Amino acid sequence: MAAEAPILDEFRRLRARVPQLTGALAAGVDGLVLAHDTPGVEPDGLAALTAAALGVAVRVADATGRGDFRELLIRGTDGYVATYAAGHTAVLTLLATDGVNVGRLHLEGRRAGARIGELVDAEATPVRRSPAKSSAKDAAKPMPTRTKTARSARTTANARTTTES
Which tens digit of pLDDT belongs to each residue from 67-98? Answer: 999 999 999 999 999 999 999 999 999 999 99
Which tens digit of pLDDT belongs to each residue from 107-124? Answer: 999 999 999 999 999 887
71-75, 92-96, 133-137, 160-164, range with the lowest pLDDT: 160-164
- Cα separation, 105 vs 96, in Å, equals 8
Please give the share of the chain, as a percent, with pLDDT higher than 70.
Answer: 74
Confidence band for 154, pLDDT divided at 50, 70 and 90: very low
- Cα separation, 90 vs 86, in Å, equals 5
- Cα separation, 61 vs 12, in Å, equals 31
- pLDDT value at residue 3: 76
Confidence band for 2, pLDDT divided at 50, 70 and 90: low
- Cα separation, 31 vs 26, in Å, equals 10
| More confident site: 107 or 136 | 107
- Cα separation, 7 vs 4, in Å, equals 5
CB 43 within 8 A of CB 36: yes
Among residues 79, 71, 119, the alpha carbon closest in space to that of 100 is found at 79
* Residue 158 host element (H or E): none
Q: Is the pLDDT of residue 159 over 60?
A: no
Q: Is 31 left (phi over 0), alpha (psi -120 to 50) or beta?
A: left
